[in-house]
Amino acid sequence: MGKLGCLAGLLLVVLIAIESVVYYYAAQMPRLWGGLPDYFVPILVMIVTTVIGVILVRRTITQIPLAFMSGKAGVLVIRAVAGVLLALPGLASDVVGLILLIPGVAFLFGSLGNKIVASLMKHFLGKMMGGGAAGGFAFPGMPGGKPGAFPGLQPDQRFARKTGKTYDVKPDKD
């Protein structure tokens, strides 16, 4: 296992230990829960926050593409991360998720969310358009571009070769 795998495993063990300690202390609270067993209320809270987190993620994910076009997807990405933290079983992750849902905190992390969305879009669009360092497909003659499916031809010459017709696509100068 590489260094990154060991680090991820160690992080997972630490997170499980933190969640276990938080659950233990939540279950040991003085009889605030009434006549319910000590373990029942923390489990009920985790179930409710999981449902809320799943609903929040589903609603937020559908709004991100439109917000990305306007450049305001950062806060929505932070809201989606908060929803994922709420959906994870555990009280400590629920607390962090609830903190991220506070409007001021979400706004503070909004620029980080914008960077995450821009990086993901660049990665997926690069893969969709053929990969490469330049971001994928480009017509011949474009800086950093690769030759397209018709090497040596300009984009408007492909139609002329098939049909024998040509069209003037250059704007007239007044």
Q: What's the pLDDT tens digit per position in 74-108?
A: 888 889 999 999 998 888 899 999 999 988 888 88
pTM (predicted TM-score): 0.61
- Helical ranges in the chain per DSSP H: 3-27, 40-70, 74-87, 91-100, 103-108, 110-128, 157-163
Residue 133 pLDDT: 46
∠ CA 139-145-149 to the nearest 5 degrees? 45
Q: What is the pLDDT of residue 54?
A: 93
Task: Say yes or no to pLDDT of 58 above 90.
Answer: yes
Domain ranges of the chain: 3-128
Q: How confident is the model at residue 63 (pLDDT cuts 50, 70, 90)?
A: confident
Give which of 147, 151, 173 is closest to 161, Cα–Cα: 151
User: Is-contact 64 58, C-beta < 8 A?
Assistant: no
| pLDDT above 90 for 55 | yes
**Amino acid making up residue 112:** L
